[in-house]
Each structure stands twice: as structure tokens, then as C-alpha cells.
């Protein structure tokens, strides 16, 4: 536990020059046409915001923080190497040369926490002006100046822990206990399994948290999509636990099984099973839906909301009779490391 008693607050705008990143002004087809080593940072909450590495010169230097000014504050990342900017991606350029990779990572963690606590969303956007005004608590030395050495040492202390976690992730990735053969899979529509509801379409900034009992699911790709816990609203029944949510924008394609009753923000669909599906099958289907949604649909260009009730399809395993193979889906999830701990 960090002792923050003697920390001081600093205005973000005093520490960083924040302005839009430079981009090529190309459409996505041209921008992503090549394969290369230069990352393109886009409006995404995944993969450090990187959509693809392309064969074009970088437009920005590394050692900066980036964020999207058109989504929530989930899309805040540190960019260690030169990259290509994108529309609506803001860069945070340190005003002091003392900022190293490790001190920026330390700062980013606190900065992101402060931003999330301010509940920025698609209505109350996390834009440049709002970012500059935020006050971020940081450790200071005896002279009241930012203690960069402390931040760097603290990040160093996490290296062994991080290495251990990465090894665990590699173990899961390389799990060979039960491999999938997708050659005989068939495509299905969401309506084959779910009633597709548009959600409650509520604005998080208008929600109250005096007696919070209901999860609020937004267009986030982390924490099961839950961005807050709010009061129950008279006259608006929350959706029941066990239903699925699907983000149609923002963290596009993010699909989760909700374990508690919930409301949703705008552009979050609710998938209500038409028949009994156990938790393992639901988790399997969620993963496939996310993979398809995040791979083949793009924010601001070809979003899911145009297709969700019309032509969005996803593949699933089938048995020798061509029927959905629920047994193999359940078996696959259970054979993953920690898969049996889902319940």
C-alpha cells in the first residue's frame, strides 16, 4: 500500500503540452494497406490503442501518453516508440526532460484513475480541455518537487511481479490441452440464440450513486463493461444477471456475461438468451462475438449498430449432424487454465 499522505496535486496542463497527434489524412483502407513496423494509434481501448503496424514513417516520437478525445477515458496509453497519429487522438508531450518511461507509466496509472473517477463518457467527453484541468496527486521530495526517482523505483519493484504474470499469460496462450478445429464450424445469427434489445440507453453523468446497487454497463472493454454502480431508478427495471452485453461503439465488439443486474448506456445492446445456456457456453460465445466484432467492424466507419439485427454473423462449432455443439464449447472453456473457476 502506497502512503500518499505527503503527496501534492499538480495540474496536468502544467506538466504536459496536450495537442492532436499528426496523421496522414488517409482513409482506413489506404492507411492500413501495408504491413510494417510503425504502430498506428487509433480510438481504441485495446492493444495500447494500436490498430496495426504499417510501412509508413512515424508522425510522432515515442515517450508520450496518448488518449482519445471522442471516447471514454479507458483509451489512455503510454507510447514507448515512434508512431502514427490518428484523428481524435491527443498526445501528451512532457514539458520536462525528467520524464522517463517508468515515471510516465507511474503517472499514467494515477492520471487514468483520476479521469475514470470524473466519469467521462460519450456525453461528457474526455477531451483536451478537460484533461488539462485535471489535478493529479504525485509524490514529492523534501523540496516539494515531483519525486521522479520514487516513481521510477516503484515501477522497478513491479518488474518481477509483471514477469511472473506474463509467464502465466503465456501458459494460457500456449495451452495445448484442447485445441480447436474450426474447419467444420458454421455461421449463425445472433437472433438464433438471443433476443436483441437496445438497452436502457441511459447517460452515466445523470445517474445517482446515493444507494448504488445496480451495475452500469458502458461501451468499455474492461471490468466486464461496468463503468459505475448506480442507484435503481423508479420505473426502470434493470436487466437481469446472466444476460450478455455487446458494445456497438467505443470498445467495439466487447461482449460480456453480466453477473449482476444492470443498466446500459447508449449503444450497448443486451443479448437475452432465448433458451438456457450455461455460463461456459455463454463465455465461449462472448469470445467469438468479440473476435468477429472487433476484427471486421470499425469505429466511425462501419460500426456494429448498423448490422447487429440485420447481418451480423459469427461462427460456432457444430456436431456431425450440423447442430450447434454445446458440449465442445463447454469442454473448451473448462479445459482452459482456471476455466473451471468461472462459476
pLDDT by residue for the chain (343 residues), tens digit each? 688 889 999 999 999 999 999 999 999 999 999 999 999 999 888 899 999 999 999 999 999 999 998 766 778 999 999 999 999 999 999 999 999 999 999 999 999 999 888 877 666 778 899 999 999 999 999 999 999 999 999 998 887 777 777 777 776 666 555 567 788 999 999 999 999 999 999 998 889 999 999 999 998 888 999 999 999 999 999 999 999 999 998 788 899 999 999 999 999 999 999 999 999 999 999 999 999 988 888 766 667 878 888 889 999 999 999 999 999 999 999 988 766 666 6
- Residue 259 resides in a domain: yes
Number of structural domains (the chain) is: 2
Final residue before a domain boundary, out of 103, 125, 157: 157
CATH of the domain at 188: 3.90.220.20
- Residue 251 resides in a domain: yes
Cell, residue 146: 515531483
- Residue 106 resides in a domain: yes
Do residues 139 and 216 both lie within one domain?
no
Do residues 149 and 296 both lie within one domain?
no
Do residues 197 and 238 both lie within one domain?
yes
Element spanning 163, H or E: helix 159-173
Do residues 195 and 115 both lie within one domain?
no
Do residues 147 and 185 both lie within one domain?
no
C-alpha span between 309 and 190 (Å, rounded): 8
- Residue 165 resides in a domain: no
- Residue 199 resides in a domain: yes
Do residues 243 and 310 both lie within one domain?
yes
Do residues 85 and 148 both lie within one domain?
yes
Do residues 139 and 13 both lie within one domain?
yes
Final residue before a domain boundary, out of 122, 157, 192: 157
Nearest to 97 by CA among 50, 61, 137, 59: 61
Do residues 114 and 153 both lie within one domain?
yes
* Cβ contact 101:70 at 8 Å: no
Do residues 152 and 185 both lie within one domain?
no
Nearest to 151 by CA among 205, 201, 108: 108
Cell, residue 333: 472453456
- Residue 1 resides in a domain: no
pLDDT of residue 26: 94
pLDDT of residue 300: 62
DSSP three-state, residue 260:
coil
Q: What is the pTM of this model?
A: 0.59
pLDDT of residue 1: 67
- Residue 174 resides in a domain: no
Final residue before a domain boundary, out of 124, 157, 190: 157
Do residues 146 and 205 both lie within one domain?
no
- Which range of residues forms the domain containing residue 38? 8-157
* Cβ contact 108:153 at 8 Å: no
Nearest to 124 by CA among 187, 59, 61, 205: 205
Do residues 233 and 336 both lie within one domain?
yes
- Residue 129 resides in a domain: yes
C-alpha span between 155 and 27 (Å, rounded): 38
pLDDT of residue 152: 94
Amino acid at each position: 500500500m502506497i502512503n500518499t499522505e505527503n503527496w501534492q496535486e499538480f495540474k496536468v496542463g502544467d506538466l504536459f503540452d496536450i495537442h492532436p497527434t499528426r496523421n496522414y489524412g488517409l482513409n482506413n483502407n489506404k492507411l492500413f494497406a501495408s504491413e510494417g513496423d510503425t504502430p498506428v494509434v487509433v480510438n481504441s481501448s485495446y492493444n495500447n490503442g494500436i490498430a496495426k503496424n504499417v510501412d509508413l514513417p512515424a508522425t510522432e516520437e515515442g515517450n508520450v501518453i496518448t488518449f482519445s478525445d471522442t471516447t471514454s477515458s479507458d483509451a489512455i496509453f503510454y507510447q514507448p516508440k515512434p508512431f502514427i497519429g490518428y484523428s481524435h487522438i491527443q498526445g501528451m508531450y512532457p514539458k520536462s526532460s525528467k520524464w522517463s518511461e517508468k515515471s510516465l507509466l507511474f503517472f499514467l496509472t494515477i492520471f487514468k484513475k483520476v479521469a475514470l473517477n470524473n466519469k467521462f463518457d460519450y456525453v461528457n467527453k474526455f477531451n483536451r480541455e478537460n484533461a488539462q484541468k485535471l489535478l493529479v496527486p504525485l509524490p514529492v521530495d523534501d523540496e516539494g518537487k515531483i519525486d521522479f526517482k520514487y516513481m521510477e523505483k516503484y515501477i522497478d519493484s513491479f518488474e518481477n511481479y509483471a514477469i511472473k504474470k506474463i509467464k502465466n499469460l503465456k501458459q494460457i496462450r500456449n495451452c495445448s490441452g484442447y485445441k480447436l478445429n474450426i474447419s467444420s464450424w458454421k455461421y449463425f445469427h445472433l437472433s438464433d440464440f438471443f433476443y436483441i434489445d437496445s438497452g436502457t440507453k441511459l447517460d452515466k453523468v445523470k445517474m445517482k450513486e446515493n444507494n448504488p446497487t445496480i451495475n452500469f454497463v458502458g461501451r468499455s472493454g474492461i471490468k466486464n463493461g461496468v463503468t459505475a454502480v448506480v442507484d435503481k431508478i423508479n420505473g426502470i427495471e434493470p436487466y437481469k444477471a446472466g444476460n450478455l452485453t455487446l458494445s456497438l461503439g467505443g470498445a467495439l465488439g466487447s461482449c460480456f456475461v453480466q453477473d449482476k443486474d444492470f443498466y446500459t448506456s447508449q449503444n450497448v445492446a443486451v443479448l437475452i438468451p432465448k433458451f438456457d445456456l450455461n455460463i461456459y457456453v455463454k463465455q465461449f460465445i462472448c469470445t467469438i462475438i468479440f473476435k468477429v466484432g472487433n476484427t471486421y467492424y470499425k469505429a466511425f466507419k462501419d460500426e456494429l449498430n448498423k448490422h447487429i439485427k440485420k447481418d451480423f454473423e459469427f461462427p460456432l462449432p457444430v456436431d456431425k449432424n450440423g447442430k450447434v455443439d454445446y458440449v465442445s464449447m463447454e469442454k473448451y472453456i473448462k479445459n482452459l487454465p482456471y476455466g473451471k473457476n468461472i462459476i
